[in-house]
């Protein structure tokens, strides 16, 4: 990203943040639907292979112009030197942990189910030392850092309780011990939060969510300095976790509307959160944009918007909340987020189903909690749908 790019707003970077110019004048890099690229001479091939010249070579390596254009744009959105794309969020995280987690990984607070499974079950099989702390146990981080852990990882806001962690403070703590701070920024999106600007070292996104935004693609991305991303490249190449050029082009197209979409997600979620806060059948609303919410002040300080995700505790039992979820008509029951359509999940029957009720309670997740991903529908229609589902 040039200095001129850094002065520009997020939408401008999303639309003009790639340097390639198409020979036929197309405003965007077309889909190079090819696996391999030809050369006139071996010397030209070696220039690309050894990184002296940028060009297509082999798509699994990431050496494909459609992938370059996407990565340049993504890097610009997080003010990063570099971005590598992957075929899923989990592929991005796996490559990050295998590259930078060899001296131990500390995960703080609740994290995506697949991430916790990878950290608690798969990576230890390879001899990696992993520690998953609840948000309330974050005080143990100092001892882990003293003990040599060199990668701190977390999500903020968290799923599904929307807890907010102080990125600046955690970056300072990690750096004081020579450790790195990596943030899964999926819930916030770069529109609402840019962790690298707050001192984090690596940012990861499941691009399947807000970056893609239409529930029609699966992809992931890591962003950071060239020095930190460089060693990830060979892992991605040899784990073979490159997205197809078609997916890369679809994601590039989605990014052009990222800022307008996320602003609307924010506005919709704020309206729904405020309506739910006054609803007689709702016991509690979890949304960082509500002034009474515990993480509100911190979120206001480090975020640019409060996001499209919120959770509600329905008054009554887990079965009562299930009945509400089943009565929703516009808001679909589905386990993802960040798309144009609103979705609902009940953590105790989906993301946290494998845990005991006690374990969920320790994480602050009640059985009567519903998590909402607010889409781009008219907020009044979403509130009306919730009203009819809550009316017994
Ligand atoms: C969905 C998600 C992931 C995993 O991403 P995939 O693209 O499904 O592999 C990781 N972290 C968070 C916060 C997510 O929501």
Interatomic CA distance for residues 369 and 312, integer angstroms:
6
Tell me the CA–centroid distance for residue 115 and ligand 1, in Å: 8
Domains plus CATH for the chain? 3-255 (3.40.640.10), 258-391 (3.90.1150.10)
Q: Give the least confident one: 14-18, 205-209, 273-277, 380-384.
A: 14-18
Please, which pLDDT band fits residue 1 given cuts at 50, 70 and 90? low
Say if residue 357's pLDDT is above 90: no
Is the distance from the beta carbon of residue 206 to the nearest atom of ligand 1 less than 6 Å?
Answer: yes
Is the distance from the beta carbon of residue 94 to the nearest atom of ligand 1 less than 6 Å?
Answer: no
Q: Is the distance from CB of 233 to CB of 240 less than 8 angstroms? A: no
Please, which pLDDT band fits residue 351 given cuts at 50, 70 and 90? confident
Torsion of CA 276, 278, 284, 288, to 10 degrees: 70
- HSE-CB at 203 with a 13 A cutoff on CA atoms is 31
Pick the catalytic residue: 13, 209, 261, 371?
Answer: 209
What does the block give as tokens for 56?
């297509």
Q: How confident is the model at residue 352, as a pLDDT? A: 84
Pick the atom of ligand 1 nearest to 93's CA.
Answer: 10
Give the single-character DSSP code of 85. Answer: E
- Identify the top-confidence range among 4-8, 50-54, 123-127: 123-127
Active site residue 166: no
Pocket test for ligand 1, best of 186, 250, 311, 373 (most atoms within 8 A of CB): 186
Interatomic CA distance for residues 211 and 121, integer angstroms:
28
Pick the catalytic residue: 32, 112, 286, 287?
Answer: 112
Residues 6+ apart with CB under 8 A from 315: 280, 281, 282, 283, 368
Is the distance from the beta carbon of residue 209 to the nearest atom of ligand 1 less than 6 Å?
Answer: yes
Percent of the chain whose pLDDT exceeds 70: 99
Tell me the CA–centroid distance for residue 206 and ligand 1, in Å: 5
Pick the catalytic residue: 5, 8, 58, 60?
Answer: 60
Q: Is the distance from CB of 164 to CB of 156 less than 8 angstroms? A: yes
Distance of CA 341 to the CA centre of its chain: 18
Is the distance from the beta carbon of residue 89 to the nearest atom of ligand 1 less than 6 Å?
Answer: yes
Q: Is the distance from CB of 233 to CB of 345 less than 8 angstroms? A: no
Residue having the nearest C-alpha atom to atom 2 of ligand 1: 206
State the sign of the Cα–Cα–Cα–Cα dihedral 307, 73, 200, 206: positive
Interatomic CA distance for residues 226 and 223, integer angstroms:
9
Is the distance from the beta carbon of residue 109 to the nearest atom of ligand 1 less than 6 Å?
Answer: no
Residue having the nearest C-alpha atom to atom 12 of ligand 1: 112
Interatomic CA distance for residues 249 and 31, integer angstroms:
6
Closest CA to 281 of 192, 370, 363, 345: 370
Q: How confident is the model at residue 19, as a pLDDT? A: 77
Looking up tokens 């918007």 gives 305
Looking up tokens 């610009």 gives 76
Longest CA span, the chain:
74
Interatomic CA distance for residues 106 and 139, integer angstroms:
12
Active site residue 28: no
DSSP class per residue in 11-52 = HHHHHH------TT--SS------SB---SSHHHHHHHHTTS
Pick the atom of ligand 1 nearest to 220's CA.
Answer: 7
Which is more confidently placed, 270 or 25?
A: 270
Active site residue 53: no
Residue having the nearest C-alpha atom to atom 11 of ligand 1: 112
> Tens digit of pLDDT for each residue in 146-199?
999 999 999 999 999 999 999 999 999 999 999 999 999 999 999 999 999 999
Once rounded to an integer, what is the mean pLDDT over residues 371-386? 98
> Tens digit of pLDDT for each residue in 120-152?
999 999 999 999 999 889 999 999 999 999 999
Percent of the chain whose pLDDT exceeds 90: 89
> Tens digit of pLDDT for each residue in 195-216?
999 999 999 999 999 999 999 9
Tell me the CA–centroid distance for residue 292 and ligand 1, in Å: 29
Mean per-residue pLDDT over the chain, rounded: 95
Which is more confidently placed, 138 or 250?
A: 250
Say if residue 392's pLDDT is above 90: no
Is the distance from the beta carbon of residue 88 to the nearest atom of ligand 1 less than 6 Å?
Answer: yes
Which helix H or strand E contains 226, and what residues bound it? helix 226-239
Say if residue 18's pLDDT is above 90: no
Interatomic CA distance for residues 143 and 149, integer angstroms:
9
Pick the atom of ligand 1 nearest to 92's CA.
Answer: 9
Say if residue 20's pLDDT is above 80: no
């Amino acid at each position: 990203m040039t200095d001129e790019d850094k002065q520009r707003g997020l939408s401008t970077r999303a639309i003009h943040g790639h340097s390639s110019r198409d020979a036929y004048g197309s405003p965007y890099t077309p889909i190079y639907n090819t696996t391999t690229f030809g050369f006139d001479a071996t010397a030209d091939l070696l220039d690309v292979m050894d990184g002296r010249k940028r060009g297509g070579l082999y798509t699994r390596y990431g050496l494909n112009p459609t992938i370059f254009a996407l990565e340049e744009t993504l890097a610009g959105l997080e003010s990063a030197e570099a971005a590598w794309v992957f075929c899923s969020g989990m592929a991005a995280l796996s490559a990050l942990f295998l590259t930078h987690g060899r001296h131990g990984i500390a995960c703080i607070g609740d994290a995506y189910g697949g991430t916790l499974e990878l950290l608690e079950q798969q990576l230890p099989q390879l001899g990696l030392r992993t520690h998953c702390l609840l948000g309330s146990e974050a005080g143990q981080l100092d001892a882990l850092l003293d003990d040599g852990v060199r990668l701190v990882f977390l999500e903020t806001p968290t799923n599904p309780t929307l807890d907010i962690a102080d990125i600046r403070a955690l970056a300072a703590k990690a750096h004081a011990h020579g450790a790195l701070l990596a943030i899964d920024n999926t819930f916030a999106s770069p529109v609402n939060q840019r962790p690298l600007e707050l001192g984090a070292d690596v940012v990861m996104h499941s691009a399947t969510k807000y970056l893609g935004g239409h529930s029609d693609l699966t992809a992931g991305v890591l962003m950071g300095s060239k020095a930190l991303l460089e060693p990830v490249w060979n892992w991605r190449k040899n784990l073979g976790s490159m997205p197809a050029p078609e997916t890369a082009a679809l994601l590039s197209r989605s990014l052009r509307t990222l800022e307008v979409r996320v602003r609307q997600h924010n506005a919709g979620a704020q309206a729904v959160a405020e309506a739910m806060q006054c609803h007689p059948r709702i016991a509690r609303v979890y949304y960082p944009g509500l002034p009474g919410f515990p993480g509100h002040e911190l979120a206001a300080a480090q975020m640019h918007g409060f996001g499209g995700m919120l959770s509600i505790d329905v008054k009554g039992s887990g079965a009562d909340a299930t009945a509400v979820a089943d009565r929703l008509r516009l808001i679909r029951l589905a386990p993802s987020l960040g798309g144009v359509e609103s979705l609902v999940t009940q953590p105790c029957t989906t993301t946290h189903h494998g845990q005991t009720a006690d374990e969920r309670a320790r994480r602050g997740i009640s059985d009567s909690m519903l998590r909402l991903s607010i889409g781009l529908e008219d907020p009044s229609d979403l509130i009306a749908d919730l009203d009819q589902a809550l009316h017994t």
